[in-house]
Structure 1
């Protein structure tokens, strides 16, 4: 293996384009792309100056010039395609949500351990500079006892029943596409919830349109989140502590700014950072760091935590009565 990992891109949709663009802007070695057709792979390779273009996912994972695979297929295929890469001996960064459900996540974790490779969920927000600074503030106790997280991820997305966001057979709906962000944020701040309360509204396709959750924790802590695919909201987040608070500006899960206040409401810190591209390359940096260190458990977002987050999402779905075809 070279000093830097050589990346392969599995699938050629919008999110793969965004990720690959960020990799190229920030000097990563993108060596190959795989699609279900040679035409699609060739077009993607030409757009991003990628040397190897494969007409199948099987050919991509068999490419000896690739060390790590980024999986960006729809949710129901995450486990299948990540497994394909793992069994070929590749490290894997798989788009969020990690899988469709917790049993799939558990199998993926075990398979990666069996083959001695890293598998990491592409919850890219965790690795953004403002999120790193927020974790530093929390670890230093600058907010005192952090009691509350309030967060939304609300977008006005297409109503077309054939659109992926509305198609249950593709894992569509507000929870797995949007709600996974605040759920993961709550896990990052407070850990595993002691209780979960959920409510949802649904579209005619059966996909969830709005999802509201309340998590409680030991010590009187609470996280409140709303996600929606049919209405656009502020897309902000607030962390409230006994000695102050943080208000994260829109869009909180993208590179953004925040302000920290003391207990009297005075601004004591204003944070901003320059990010090249959208910031999706930071998760690739984490993959390369972990592989170089021989740390296959994961750091900022361990694979065990991704599995546990899938159990939380499964519990939410159980409460609102949401099942996907084939489950």
Structure 2
């Protein structure tokens, strides 16, 4: 094992202002698009040249609010624009595949909001299309682009935790009636919106599960209400993940090894603290950063710009294989729990790629 450090490493994340300035088009005008544009404009040199919605008035309102020069009433119009280098797909979950197709077939580099698609089969289609066209593509799972997670990455790489045996992660949030997460036609329920975070953490650290056991409870709105799963790694290590719409939870994560434990106070998927503890000892080290929440979305945009400028087709911080591994695990969770999303086969044969 590596010696217990005297201090936690600093993040190696480059200054987002140093990322090459690209011209961005945004598909969608909802909550995440708004937060993304605000953060990226505040902290980087990236430029937004267009926004599109199926509702031209909504696109116009969004463009006026953010000072974006062009508003389009169709996704095809934006992706055909010569002044767009990269497209941010910020539409609803059920539209991710279709919008990614439109962007990639138009020859645009593409960043797709998480989850990359409804299931692994759809995600595989996106990955294949990007590869065939020689275009950059990534899932906008912003967690893995944060400075906090670069520190996690360095701690894991150092071996100071010993052999990782356990990953615990959960995310629960209460939503009021009428929220889109409660709509079955929009692939509602906690798994895609909230559960992607704990499942992606477990599969990132433990790898594809060799065995998975899941249980779920329905919500009165007709969607899944909460889901728990046990993921067993190939070496016997275990991940325990949980997500719920019934209540707010601490949204914490723990990575436990034979020699040490790394704790991520909630919300673990956002900017925040880390605590490293030596097993069998009171020795602890802490890392602290401002809890800026979604104002940190700019880190993923800066990484995308750097990758494209360097000729990379994927980001090493969240390669498409990692996105596929997460979706395969969520496919199995849904298969066991009978959770089907719009347009999927009723016999639940998910994940066939």
**Which range, TM-score by smaller chain?**
over 0.9
CA distance in 1, matches of 2:282, 2:35: 38
Aligned to 1:10: 27
User: Over aligned residues, Cα RMSD in angstroms?
Assistant: 1.6
CA distance in 1, matches of 2:107, 2:291: 32
Quote the Cα distance in structure 1 between the aligned partners of 2:277 and 2:121. Answer: 42
My pick for the range that moved more, 283-292 or 129-138, is 283-292
Q: 1:218 aligned to 2:218? A: no
1:7-46 Cα offsets, whole Å, 9 max, x none, are 1111100011011111111122122111122321222112
Which residue, out of 40, 45, 63, partners 1:23? 40
User: Counterpart of 2:295 in 1: which secondary structure?
Assistant: coil
Structure 1: state its 5+ residue gaps: none
Report which stretch shifted further, 40-49 or 268-277: 268-277
The number of residues matched between the two structures is 324
* Pair 1:190-2:198 in alignment: no
TM-superposed CA distance for 1:109, in Å, is 1.0
Matches within 5 A, 1:180-259: 180-259=196-275
* SS of aligned partner of 1:278: helix
Does residue 69 in structure 1 map to residue 48 in structure 2?
Answer: no
User: Deviation digits for residues 220-250 of structure 1, max 9, x if unmatched?
Assistant: 3111011001111111111111111111111
Q: Does 1:96 align with 2:114?
A: yes
| Shift >3 Å, 4+ stretches | 274-277
- TM norm structure 2: 0.88
Structure 2 counterpart SS, 1:187? helix
Distance in 1 separating the partners of 2:124 and 2:234: 26
How far apart are residue 278 of structure 1 and its match? 2.2
Determine which of 321, 324, 331 is the counterpart of 1:314: 331
Paired with 1:238 and 1:203, the residues of 2 have a C-alpha distance of 28
Take 1:14 and 1:268, find their aligned partners in 2: how far apart are those partners? Answer: 38
Counting only pairs closer than 5 Å after superposition, residues 1-327 of structure 1 correspond to structure 2 as 3-27=20-44, 28-158=46-176, 160=177, 162-274=178-290, 278-327=295-344
* Kept in 2: contact 1:255–1:278 (CA 8 A): no
User: Which has the larger displacement, 122-131 or 270-279?
Assistant: 270-279
Residue 156 of structure 2 aligns to a residue in which SS?
Answer: helix
Q: Deviations over 1:66-89 (max 9, x none)?
A: 111111111111000011010111
Q: Tell me the distance in 2 between the aligned counterparts of 1:275 and 1:257.
A: 8
Q: CA deviation at 1:3?
A: 4.5
Task: Tell me how far 1:204 sits from its aligned partner.
Answer: 2.9
Query: Secondary structure of 1:94's partner?
Result: strand
